[in-house]
Structure 1
């Protein structure tokens, strides 16, 4: 298969021996995105990039990441134009806002019982908070990596071997692979893929169960002098396997 900007990082992620190669990739994408937004390349000074960050904004999680990164001036410049846009749009929304007519049924409805916002202001807020410049970038690249995964699986024996010898995936990415394989693979390919995927998950979830159990048993005085084995970092690896990410990572900071 011809190499692309997605094949090499994907192969490297499977060679990393991470608990989930796709979590490994998402961390790389996220860090590259933060560097792009606030790093030394000063993309935040480019009008087209600022227009995109003004429009999408950032989620709570990535605002914290951007704050930890350390470029205060860059963050302030991004926020200055983003808030200029927010204020202009809020003024427009408030001017055209009209409350809905009250009714007995509305009064008896539980708060949050419906997904759709009840007012135009609620709809506007939902539109503002449903996007994040970095989340959107991660999601887009992740989808391309999933496509590349199945292309490599079908065409590259060496990649299939990497997959079969990996530590499996976090539950979220395991679910994505199980769902997508149904439409991306032929019947014969599914007959090989699903048993391999399921065996990987069962073996590696059991491995982590044993490791974190030994972590707890090491606190028994009778095991004080016994070897920790691979259990010392089992807590964060179990957390990753269950919900993804790398919970023990320190804040990602600018190298300036």
Structure 2
């Protein structure tokens, strides 16, 4: 493979004990990218050129605010707003004519103006990657997100590395089968890339193993949720909680691929 092989990262992920190795990687990558954007890199003109061009989705805008680097956010917003203001004036067309009260009452002019507003403020249909895009969707303030796109690019290579490791690293495969597997979202994507890239006979072997891993761990979390409910019965008030105390956030993660119990990620400097 010409691209970087993310073998260390994937090995760490399957050893993490997380309900989904790719969710664990998603969180790690997201935090690293946020630290990159709001670290000293915000003073680098080439980085600000890219953040000005792409902007940020709602999810990552909120994470940037919560992170707490006021000066870094201000620099990024300064450049981004300058870009948006320039684009808005250009896309509105003859802004001088509009400002001076020129008529836009004709059906054609109204349609053209509405189209310009739509192209500026609505998503352009960019197919976001699933590593970050499932959470941020197409709700960006323009057509993309700098952090989402950085994560998506790396995620594609991580999926390829995952399939490569199943073929070339038996120890990784053994460790994976002892892990808690995946959330539903990442399970489907891991299956897809393995089916597409592995040799048919090898995929036949791993398909059965991955399916069993997913089903067994869904059963495990289901049992934890069921017992959590039973613990609320007064007859079980003295019974052991077993593994059910955090069953709700773990079940949520299995179903939709997120860490709902995570605290806000803040600047730790």
TM-score in same-fold range (> 0.5): yes
Q: Smaller-chain TM-score range?
A: 0.7 to 0.9
Q: In 1, distance between residues paired with 2:26 and 2:249? A: 17
Runs of at least 4 residues off by over 6 Å = 97-100
Find the counterpart in structure 2 of residue 71 from structure 1.
69
2:81 to 70, 77, 83: 83
Q: In 1, distance between residues paired with 2:92 and 2:64? A: 30
Q: In 2, distance between residues paired with 1:188 and 1:250? A: 44
SS in 2 for 1:226: coil
Structure 2 unaligned blocks of 5 or more: 96-103, 125-140
Q: How many residue pairs align between the two structures? A: 238
Structure 1 unaligned blocks of 5 or more: 107-117
Deviation at 1:130, TM superposition (A): 2.6
User: With CA pairs under 8 Å and 6+ residues apart, which has the higher RCO, 1 or 2?
Assistant: 1
SS in 1 for 2:258: coil
1:171 to 178, 184, 204: 184
Deviation at 1:211, TM superposition (A): 0.2
Deviation at 1:120, TM superposition (A): 2.8
Matches within 5 A, 1:66-215: 66-95=64-93, 101=107, 119-125=115-121, 126-127=123-124, 129-215=142-228
What TM-score comes out, normalization by structure 1 length?
0.88
Contact 2:14 2:179 in 1 (8 A): yes
Deviation at 1:129, TM superposition (A): 2.3
Contact 2:20 2:181 in 1 (8 A): yes
Matched, 1:240 2:236: no
Contact 1:22 1:169 in 2 (8 A): yes
Find the counterpart in structure 1 of residue 38 from structure 2.
38
Find the counterpart in structure 2 of residue 114 from structure 1.
none
SS in 2 for 1:119: helix
Contact 1:99 1:119 in 2 (8 A): no
Q: In 2, distance between residues paired with 1:237 and 1:193? A: 25
Q: 1:67 to 1:190 in 2, by over 3 A?
A: same
CA RMSD in angstroms comes to 2.0
